């Protein structure tokens, strides 16, 4: 998977910052964890966007296409897309604009709401989802350095953060050994 240009530093700058932080401000564990997560997000996003570039996608556009592909009818109201992807309505509009311009989705009136608009995945969009997903799966979404139990642990740890932030209400559910979230019991 293509990654961000390596910095090739002779030391871990986040670990160094944590040492200085601890001397000046006190416990650095939360700061170091957050900074590591933010850097990991930068690395992953650069790599995933690199894998998706040949398809004319960014990871954000890929997520929208997958969401439409997963829907029962292949179409969702723009409002629902924003809720499910947890992004601002303006971001949804921009994403759908680009996907529509590329022929991967089409807008159509929502038959249940005369004022609303649906985004519907096209056959070309479904083809791009299939092909790009194969590339992402082959690259293990950039998580090649982790085995399934480590990925499950990471999912569980970050899930707690998402629940605390109010993303959703749920009892903690660990993913299954294959990395997919297990069904709640």
**Spatial distance between the Cα atoms of 15 and 154, rounded to a whole number of angstroms:** 20
Q: Domain for residue 28, yes or no?
A: yes
Query: Is residue 126 included in any domain, yes or no?
Result: yes
At residue 1, does pLDDT exceed 90?
A: no
In a domain, 78, yes or no: yes
Q: Sorting pLDDT into bands at 50, 70 and 90, what band is 167?
A: confident
Using alpha carbons only, how large is the chain's radius of gyration in Å?
19
Residue 167 located in a structural domain: no
Give the Cα separation of 134 and 140 in Å (integer). Answer: 10
Question: Is residue 77 a contact partner of residue 113, using CB atoms and an 8 Å limit?
Answer: yes
Whether 176 is in a domain gets the answer no
DSSP state of 141: G
Residue 76 belongs to a domain with what CATH number? 1.10.10.10
pLDDT of residue 8: 85
Mean pLDDT score of the chain, rounded to an integer?
90
For the record, the structure tokens of 77 come out as 């109201």
Is residue 173 situated within a structural domain? no
Is-contact 112 123, C-beta < 8 A?
no
Taking CA atoms, 110 is separated from 63, 83, 101, 117, 166, in Å, by 21, 17, 20, 5, 29
The number of folded domains in the chain is 1
Distances (CA, A) of 82 to 64, 103, 121: 9, 20, 16
Q: What's phi and psi for 69, nearest 5 deg?
A: -65, -35
Distances from the Cα of 142 to the Cα of 12, 73, 124, 146, angstroms: 20, 30, 25, 10
Q: Which two tokens stand for residue 110?
A: 């929502």
Cβ count within 10 A of residue 96: 23
Domain encompassing residue 85:
13-161
Task: Quickly state the pLDDT bin for 180 (edges 50, 70, 90).
Answer: low
Q: What is the mean pLDDT of residues 7-20?
A: 93
Among the residue ranges 29-33, 59-63, 167-171, the one predicted with the least confidence is 167-171
Is 168 inside any structural domain? no
Residue 178 within a domain: no
Residue 55 has pLDDT above 90, yes or no: yes
């690259």: which residue's tokens?
139
**Could you tell me the two tokens for 32?**
């170091």
Q: Encoding tokens for residue 162?
A: 């998402």
Q: What angle do CA 104, 110, 116 make, to 5 degrees?
A: 100
């Amino acid at each position: 998977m293509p990654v961000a240009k390596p910095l090739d530093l002779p030391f871990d700058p986040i670990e160094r910052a944590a040492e200085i932080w601890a001397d000046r401000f006190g416990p650095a564990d939360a700061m170091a964890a957050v900074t590591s997560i933010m850097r990991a997000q930068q690395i992953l996003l650069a790599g995933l966007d690199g894998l998706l570039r040949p398809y004319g996608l960014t990871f954000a556009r890929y997520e929208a296409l997958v969401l439409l592909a997963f829907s029962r009818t292949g179409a969702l109201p723009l409002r629902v897309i924003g809720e499910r992807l947890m992004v601002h309505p303006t971001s949804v509009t921009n994403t759908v604009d680009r996907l529509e311009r590329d022929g991967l989705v089409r807008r159509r009136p929502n038959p249940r709401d005369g004022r609303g608009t649906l985004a519907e995945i096209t056959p070309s969009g479904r083809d791009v989802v299939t092909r790009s997903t194969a590339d992402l799966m082959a690259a293990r979404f950039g998580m090649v350095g982790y085995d399934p139990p480590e990925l499950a642990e990471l999912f569980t740890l970050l899930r707690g953060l998402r629940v605390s932030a109010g993303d959703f209400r749920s009892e903690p559910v660990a993913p299954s050994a294959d990395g997919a979230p297990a069904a709640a019991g």
